Every structure is written in structure tokens, then in C-alpha cells.
Amino acid sequence: MPPKQKFSREEIVASAVKILRQDGLSGITARALAEELGSSPRPIFTVFHTMEEVQDSAIEYAKNLYNGYVSEALEQDLAFKAVGEAYIRFASEEPKMFQLLFMSEKNLENSFVSILSSIDENSQKILQSISESYGFSDEKAYRLYMILWVFTHGIATLYATGVHAFEPTEVGGMMADVFLGAVHQIK
């Protein structure tokens, strides 16, 4: 008969997410998780087979949290602008999760479309919002997305690494300047 579960899957994942927020993915070890739960590592393995499964659950939590930011932004009137602001807000509020999702080494194809799709599963929805909001062809929407994503990713990275946090009005102004310049150039 298998041992009785001392902790639920949700309790273990919640503790793993707490560690992720403090120490990043590499901080989620059996020892650290057991300490966070106030137990030995053994009860973890009555629910999960490996620590990789626990880490994968924490990654899935981070993706879902980020997707919530984007989904909410896509409902706004200026969806593309709101998505950029949500991306930066996620980096500011969840720096370790941002680093995990958007600053980890990846073996990706050379095509920027492939990169965006691999990094952010919301990329097609974002491209669609650009096409619909601004009447751009797919090619022009992609170009605008690429330009603004690179710019926004730079700001978000500054937040996530603690290098610099701009005032919200500064960010909005810079984003507007780059957006207007890019739109002018693309048209």
C-alpha cells in the first residue's frame, strides 16, 4: 500500500512557487521544498515522482500567471499598449518568474516569428489585436510587434534584474514615442 499523502499537490506547488519567487527555479530542491513545508523530503515524493515534476508545475504556474496578465490586457481598448504595460508589470511584480520565462537560454530557430511564438504562447492573439486595431497587414503587424517587443523586453529586463525601475509616466512616454515612430515608419 502506498504511503499516505501528507501534503496535497496544491500545497507542494504553492511552496515551490514561493521558493521560485525568492530564489528562482534552481532554488526548488527537495531540501528547500521540505524546509518550506516543515517536513522531510519524503512526503513530496508521495505526490510527485521527481523534483523535475515539481519544477514543471511551478513553471506551469508562472506561465498561467503571466497569461492572466496578457489576457486581461487583451481586453483593454488599446490592447497592444496594454499588453506591453502588462509585460513590464509582470517583470516588475514577478522578477524571478519573468527571468524564468523570458530570460532563460533557449535553443530556438532563427526566425523572429518562431522566437516570439516559442517564448510567448499569446503571440498570435497579440498579432491579431494589432491587425484589428490598426488595420495592418499580417506583415506590418508582425513588424510593429517585433519592434515594440524588443523595446519592451529591454525595459522589462531592467525591472526584472533590478538594474533600473522607471517611473510609470516615463515608461508610457517612451513606449508612445517608439510606437508612434514605428507606426510612422511602417505605414
Question: Which CATH number is 9-49 given?
Answer: 1.10.10.60
Q: Structure pTM?
A: 0.89
Q: In the prediction, which pLDDT does 109 show?
A: 61
Cα separation, 33 vs 36, in Å, equals: 5
Rounded to the nearest 5°, which phi and psi values hold at 4? -70, 140
- Give the model's pLDDT for residue 187: 83
The model's pLDDT over 126-135, given as tens digits with 9 standing for 90+, comes to 888 899 888 9
Which DSSP state fits 78? T
- Tens of pLDDT, residue by residue over 115-157, are 677 767 888 888 888 998 889 998 999 999 999 999 999 999 9
pLDDT band at 108 (very low <50, low <70, confident <90, very high): low
Other CB atoms within 10 A of residue 87 CB:
26
